[in-house]
Structure 1
Amino acid sequence: MIFDGLENVCPYENDNFKYSFIEDSIESECVDFRKHVLNDSAFTRNRIWGFGDYVKHILFNQRKTIQNNIDTHLKYSKDCVGSYSKQSFSEQRININPDVFKRISINYLRNIGYINLQKNCEFFRTFYGFRLFAGDGSRFELPNKKLTLKEFGFKENYDKKINVVFSGVVDVLNDFMIDGLIGKRGVGEHTLIHKNIEKCKRLIIPEKSIFIFDRGYNSIELMVRIIEMHSYFVIRLRKDTYIGERESMTSDDEIVEIELDKTRRNQFQNNYFKNKIRFFNSLNLRIVNIKLETGEIETLITNLPQETMSKEQLKEIYKARWGIECTYKTLKQRLQIQNYTAQTEIGIQQDIYSTFLLYNIFCYSRIYLNLIINKNMRKKGKKDYYDVNQSHLISRLKIDLFETILDPSKVKNFINNLIKKCTPAPNKVKKPRQYERKKTTPNRYIQTQYKPTF
């Protein structure tokens, strides 16, 4: 359940949830901002907006028309600026490295105590002391504009949906987005997931981390990378992979020798790992067959020892992978991550990566508010678990955060107002249901040429 292991954590202490966590996360990158500027001549003169103003605007704008976003921002301007053109904004934003927004999101996770390489904070969930990280890709649709097509590697007259791969790594027990990357045309999930993991390994405790992947990630190179960093993985196997090794099994849970033949070696893309496996003829990995309620056999491969995780525990670990699908749903539907305010590659990356902060704030707020809600429910004698209304929480964050970040006078009541507005009328957590997956053709989430104006 969502709240297992957190019953003894006190959510009423203000030290657990401060607005300053957000403010400090932004300011720490804006102090020495030159390292995030792509053009040496940019942000060298005194202008109406400085680097910090642009960063805050991109982080918290309402995803309406550019001019509407600017006008809303100017209402809180200290200098009583009457107007600012969208042309000036667009010309300046292309000088900001999109990675600054990922850095701000990581700063926030560090400030709330999530990233602590010395110990795991009791405020955050683990699975028998391990954090569970799911990696997966999702199709992101881009605006069909001439400049966008060119910069993302599409032909000028491309007449189909402009889809590229987004790849992310999510802590599926706490829902935090640890890393995400948007690729160009032709760049697949496997290429991006290796970059994701390389970024993640400095932010986690490798020995206490388990990476979970669906059957599309049956890559020995990926397994070797995770083994090399002293972490663990659980991957679902396709029915047509490792057939010989699986037929040799005499039980449903065995250590199996995976032969590193020429075909498998040639699939390696990274020269470091390709050279490393030259000295090995095989890998000893654990293969587990799990019978589902439907009667289907699900096969997992892992490097977790049998004495560390049982067969039933592996089933629970892989089941947790569904959390990353919920993350993509929230990012796309609730946070409108595909509602872009730009047509350039840099601008689109800024829109996507800036959403990470708001999403992680939402996840932390959800944990905090759920503790308050469920403690109150226990006092009333209710034994069920309850979850804050997610859409209401996100809408309050979008409005209140935007106002608070630009109007410091509202900081004092930010947390109290969030608790007051979001803790009433929570949703009862229902038991998971199983449905047969239906193949559908998704419609566009947002028409990029028409933005909401109110």
Structure 2
Amino acid sequence: MLKSYLTILKNLIKNERETFVLEKNKFTRNHKMSFEDVVYYILGNKGKTIVLEIEDYFNEKFGDDEIPISKQALSERRSFLDWKIFKRTDTDALTDFYSTKSDYLEDFKEYYVLTIDGSPVDLPNAKITREEFGVQLRALKEAESPKARISTLCDVKNDFIIDSTISPMSIGEHTLAQENIEKSSKTIDLKKAIIIFDRLYPSTELYLKLIEKESKFIFRLKKTDYIHEKKYMKTDDEYTDIKLNATRTQSIKNNQLKEKTKEIKSLNLRIVNVKQKQEKLKH
């Protein structure tokens, strides 16, 4: 995987460099720190101070103790680099790996085990992040950081992040999950996947999206989900028709999926009641 990643990155640097330069005519002249240097410097960053990171990079490259660029100059050159070069490399490397090296990947009964989850994250309380994520200064309490929402789709058996996104808190987890599904479908064959969701995710729109992609899925339900349907179950493991009434379809934002509910009227889904073992308290 690492070899494939570095090969793809090298090709992007060589053949598509201009695509990832944010300001025209930057990285065109000979400079002590080239476009390639900036990319590899960022990749090799170990969390030290900027000065030490620069020193380590050039010592490794040239074996020279002299630091040829100041941290101010480095920060300026980094600002001209589009971070999407790393996203593109990740996506292309994963696509290549899942399509050509599938024999090396762990699965469960020939299915990849994927999961989607989201979480709020704190952002630096700076003007640029507040503007980017639509946070009004007056909405923050004293010493409080602005927040964003992240959503990630992972292959849990192979420790790969297939897709991730960060967005304003105003965008809900269901919307981001759909984005994860759509983007990851270009990287991995979702027909060969089982996608697992926590209890906050069950929704008609997500079911329809996953069925559209022909993916298997498991949602953890709350006790209050589908009370009417569960009341008529004769066993703890049955297929049941989930009626697509107005209440269950009114929140669907995808117009194409909403139109589909008018045709199918219901979804035949399997519900499994799992009794959790109660741990005895030790005295």
Q: Taking structure 2 as the reference length, what is the TM-score of the superposition?
A: 0.87
Q: Which amino acid aligns with 1:48?
A: K
2:49 equivalent to 1:68: no
User: Superposition pairs for residues 253-332 of structure 1, below 5 Å?
Assistant: 253-294=237-278
Residues 146 and 206 (structure 1), Cα distance of their counterparts in 2 relative to 1, 3 Å cut: closer
Q: Could you give the per-residue CA deviations for residues 216-237 of structure 1, whole angstroms, max 9, x where no partner exists?
A: 1112111111110111110101
2:182 to 173, 198, 203: 198
User: Superposition pairs for residues 38-437 of structure 1, below 5 Å?
Assistant: 38-78=22-62, 82-109=67-94, 114-116=97-99, 120-121=102-103, 123-156=104-137, 158=140, 159=142, 160-294=144-278
- Supply the distance in 1 between the matched residues of 2:87 and 2:265 (Cα, whole angstroms): 40
- Supply the distance in 1 between the matched residues of 2:41 and 2:252 (Cα, whole angstroms): 42
Q: Post-superposition shift, 1:77?
A: 4.2
RCO greater where, 1 or 2, for CA within 8 Å and sep 6 or more?
1
Question: 8 Å contact 2:8–2:93 — kept in the other structure?
Answer: yes
Q: Post-superposition shift, 1:132?
A: 0.6
- Supply the distance in 1 between the matched residues of 2:84 and 2:39 (Cα, whole angstroms): 11
Residues 128 and 266 (structure 1), Cα distance of their counterparts in 2 relative to 1, 3 Å cut: same
Query: Which 10-residue stretch deviates more, 31-40 or 220-229?
Result: 31-40
- Supply the distance in 1 between the matched residues of 2:176 and 2:51 (Cα, whole angstroms): 34
Q: Post-superposition shift, 1:129?
A: 0.6
Query: Which 10-residue stretch deviates more, 160-169 or 282-291?
Result: 160-169
Q: Could you give the per-residue CA deviations for residues 154-204 of structure 1, whole angstroms, max 9, x where no partner exists?
A: 223533233322111111111111111111242332222111111110121
Q: Which amino acid aligns with 1:293?
A: K
Runs of 4+ in 1 over 6 A off after TM superposition: none
CA-based RMSD of the aligned residues comes to 2.6
Query: Which 10-residue stretch deviates more, 73-82 or 211-220?
Result: 73-82
Question: 8 Å contact 1:150–1:156 — kept in the other structure?
Answer: no
- Supply the distance in 2 between the matched residues of 1:229 and 1:150 (Cα, whole angstroms): 35
2:6 equivalent to 1:23: yes
- Supply the distance in 2 between the matched residues of 1:43 and 1:257 (Cα, whole angstroms): 60
Q: Post-superposition shift, 1:136?
A: 0.5
Q: Secondary structure at the match of 1:215?
A: coil
Q: Could you give the per-residue CA deviations for residues 52-104 of structure 1, whole angstroms, max 9, x where no partner exists?
A: 22221222212233333223323234496633233333333333332321222
Q: Could you give the per-residue CA deviations for residues 280-321 of structure 1, whole angstroms, max 9, x where no partner exists?
A: 2111111111122228xxxxxxxxxxxxxxxxxxxxxxxxxx
Residues 40 and 279 (structure 1), Cα distance of their counterparts in 2 relative to 1, 3 Å cut: farther
- Supply the distance in 1 between the matched residues of 2:132 and 2:165 (Cα, whole angstroms): 16
Unaligned runs of 5+ in 1: 1-16, 296-434, 436-454
- Supply the distance in 2 between the matched residues of 1:76 and 1:68 (Cα, whole angstroms): 12
Question: 8 Å contact 2:54–2:67 — kept in the other structure?
Answer: no
Q: Which amino acid aligns with 1:85?
A: S
Q: Post-superposition shift, 1:30?
A: 1.4
- Supply the distance in 2 between the matched residues of 1:130 and 1:35 (Cα, whole angstroms): 36
Unaligned runs of 5+ in 2: none
Q: Secondary structure at the match of 2:150?
A: strand
- Supply the distance in 2 between the matched residues of 1:271 and 1:55 (Cα, whole angstroms): 41
Q: Could you give the per-residue CA deviations for residues 310-346 of structure 1, whole angstroms, max 9, x where no partner exists?
A: xxxxxxxxxxxxxxxxxxxxxxxxxxxxxxxxxxxxx
- Supply the distance in 2 between the matched residues of 1:262 and 1:245 (Cα, whole angstroms): 16
Question: 8 Å contact 2:21–2:80 — kept in the other structure?
Answer: yes
- Supply the distance in 1 between the matched residues of 2:11 and 2:277 (Cα, whole angstroms): 50
Q: Which amino acid aligns with 2:8?
A: S
Over the matched positions of the two proteins, sequence identity in percent amounts to: 36
Q: Post-superposition shift, 1:142?
A: 1.8
Query: Which 10-residue stretch deviates more, 77-86 or 248-257?
Result: 77-86
Q: Taking structure 1 as the reference length, what is the TM-score of the superposition?
A: 0.56
User: Superposition pairs for residues 434-445 of structure 1, below 5 Å?
Assistant: none
- Supply the distance in 1 between the matched residues of 2:265 and 2:250 (Cα, whole angstroms): 14
